[in-house]
Each structure stands twice: as C-alpha cells, then as structure tokens.
C-alpha cells in the first residue's frame, strides 16, 4: 500500500512537472511568435474622414485629434473609451452627425491612435491634464464634452478642476457607478498594493508585448466587441481596432488599464457628486460595468439627467445613433 502511495505521489509530481513544462514551452513559443511574426507597425488609416492635427500638450505630449469647424455654435469635444484597442473611431457616429452643424473635435487620447504612445506613467491625472490642455489651447471656449466609458471619469476630473472649460458633460456608458461594496474591495486592493503588483507582473518586457498581442488579436477583439453590441459588430470596427492595436508602443497605456491603475477610487462620491455642470448619462446595459448607483445620484443631484437607450450594451452611439442624438439635443436645449 505504501509503495502504491509513493508511486501515486511520484505520478502526480511528474504530471505537475509535465504541465509546468508544457505551459512554459507554450508561453515561450508565443513570445517567439509575437516577436518574429506579428507586425507591430501596421499602416494606420485615419479613424475619421476629417482633418487630423497634432497638439503638443504640456502634460501629456503629442495629442492627435480630428476637427471640423465648419459649423456654428458651442464646440463639441468627443472622447473615446479606454481599452486594449480604443481610438477616436469609437465616436465616429457622433462626429459624422455633428460635423458641419457645430465645431466638433474627436481626440485620440494619450497612448492611443495617432497620439504619443511612449513608455511612461499613464494615470487619471495624465488624462485629466490632457483634456484640460486641449480645451484651453485648442478649443478655447466652454465646450460640450461627450465621453465614453472610463474616459467619463477623466472628463469629470477635468471639469471639477477647470470648470470654466466646460459648458456641459455627457457620459456614455460611464464607469464609476458600481455599488459601494465593490469600491471598498477596490480600495482595499489598492491599499495592499495589488494594483502595483499586477502592473509590475504585466509590464515585464519579456512578455508585456506578447501578452498584449494575445489580448489584441483579431479573435479577441471580435469577442470583446461582440459583448458590447446587441446586434452584429460592424466589420470595419474590428478592422480598425486591430490596426490601431498593432502600432509601436500600443501596449503601454492598456497595461495600466488592465492592471486597474486608471480608475479613480470612489469616483462617484469624490468627483461626480461635486460637479456643478449639467450632466447627462446615456446608458442601458454594459458587460464591463453596471449602473446600480446611478438612480440615487439622479435623485439627489438636480444637475444630473439620465437617458436609457435600450436595447444597447455599451456603445449606443453605434447601435441607436438617432436616439442618442435625440437625447443629446433634448439635453443641450435646456443647458
């Protein structure tokens, strides 16, 4: 019996050793494949058929943006979300609708699109300053700012610190409305240094780019976009996301995002509730966040309004553009 147990123990050890060896071999093979066979300097088309310019931000380096100033009225500034393959392309339906009707701008935020993608510290402060610098130096007048997902937090931080730059703020599928228990979990994780350890693990040069290549592969992009669409994902959306994810330095900003370092703890209590501007939230269902705490804020803050565009899953400007425009026009008519 003892001999059997010993043999069983040896078999388990050999099996574990074999699994570790196979995993290491697979990882090594993917790292080699990423370096030799995946192109990281693909030609990048413009996200929007409009004039594209660069602006040198004092705090955030070179920022690329698209602009059409042929219309009249208050300027509109569009901010895309933060993910592994984001860019100004995400705001294309709104840019196309408003061009010629009012001055409209769409940014590639730092680390994405044609903007600077250097290996540096990416943080909420960086994005806040980038938005403030752009509104001050380029737009030059109080603007209606429409942001998507996590960028809503950055826009809110900018509005809180430089209120004179904003006329109103529109949040499309914003983050930051998770229940307090989840915020407390995130805060405890931050206090334990979990986010720092996760970032340190993801950012190891040996596997940072190969890991990002796996996340930004075409099947992966298709999978995550499928979760954000009620219907079919436009093929050109996948194509552009793949292009922009295969640029030099494309992995740096998403690594900070994936490690949780771009979220502001308790942003609803510390930032959202402190805003004095008119704010519109456009939402429905979102696989990456929830809006459980939104009704309470809408009830308690007179300057906040909500518009539910159903059925959508995080990108209503793509799935229900006219209904989004109707909600925007109704909101702005009362600003």
Using the CB atoms, write b or e for 42-51: b if 16+ within 10 Å: eeeeebbebe
Give the pLDDT confidence score for residue 159 in this predicted structure. 98
Nearest to 173 by CA among 315, 34, 321: 315
Please give the pLDDT value at position 196: 80
Residues of the chain with pLDDT under 50: 19-20, 185
304-308: strand order across its sheet: 51-57, 61-68, 104-108, 76-79, 143-148, 166-172, 279-283, 304-308
Q: Do 113 and 88 form a contact (C-beta atoms < 8 A)?
A: yes
Residue 19 has a pLDDT of 47
Q: What is the set of domains in the chain, with CATH numbers? A: 38-335 (3.40.50.1820)
Q: What pLDDT, on the 0 to 100 scale, is given for residue 208?
A: 83
Residues 160 and 279: beta-carbon distance below 8 Å: no
| Full DSSP string of 2-53 | HHHHHHHHHHHHHHHHHHHHHHHHHHHHHHHHHHHHS-SS-----SSSSEEE
CB 243 within 8 A of CB 45: yes
């Amino acid at each position: 019996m003892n001999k059997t147990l010993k043999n069983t123990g040896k078999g388990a050890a050999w099996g574990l050793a074999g699994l570790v060896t196979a995993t290491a071999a697979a990882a090594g093979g993917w790292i080699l494949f990423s370096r030799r066979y995946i192109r990281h300097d693909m030609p990048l088309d413009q996200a929007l058929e409009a004039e594209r310019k660069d602006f040198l931000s004092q705090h955030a380096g070179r920022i690329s943006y698209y602009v059409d100033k042929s219309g009249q009225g208050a300027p509109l500034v569009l901010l895309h979300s933060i993910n592994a393959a984001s860019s100004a392309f995400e705001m294309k339906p709104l840019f196309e609708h408003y061009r010629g009707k009012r001055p409209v701008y769409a940014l590639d935020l730092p680390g994405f699109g044609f903007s600077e993608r250097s290996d540096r510290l990416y943080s909420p402060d960086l994005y806040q300053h980038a938005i403030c610098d752009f509104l001050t130096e380029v737009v030059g007048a109080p603007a209606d700012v429409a942001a998507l997902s996590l960028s809503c937090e950055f826009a809110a931080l900018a509005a809180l610190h430089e209120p004179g730059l904003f006329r109103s703020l529109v949040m499309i599928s914003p983050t930051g409305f998770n229940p307090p228990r989840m915020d407390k979990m995130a805060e405890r994780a931050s206090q334990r240094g979990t986010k720092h350890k996760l970032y340190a693990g993801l950012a190891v040069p040996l596997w940072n780019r190969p890991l990002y290549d796996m996340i930004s592969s075409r099947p992966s992009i298709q999978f995550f976009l499928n979760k954000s669409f009620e219907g079919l994902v436009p093929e050109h959306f996948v194509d552009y996301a793949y292009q922009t994810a295969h640029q030099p330095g494309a992995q740096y900003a998403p690594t900070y995002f994936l490690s949780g370092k771009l979220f502001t703890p308790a942003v609803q209590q510390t930032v959202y509730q402190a805003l004095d501007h008119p704010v519109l939230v456009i939402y429905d269902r979102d696989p990456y966040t929830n809006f459980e705490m939104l009704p309470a804020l809408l009830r308690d803050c007179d300057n906040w309004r909500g518009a539910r565009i159903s059925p959508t899953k995080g990108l209503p400007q793509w799935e229900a553009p006219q209904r989004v425009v109707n909600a925007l026009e109704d909101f702005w008519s009362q600003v």
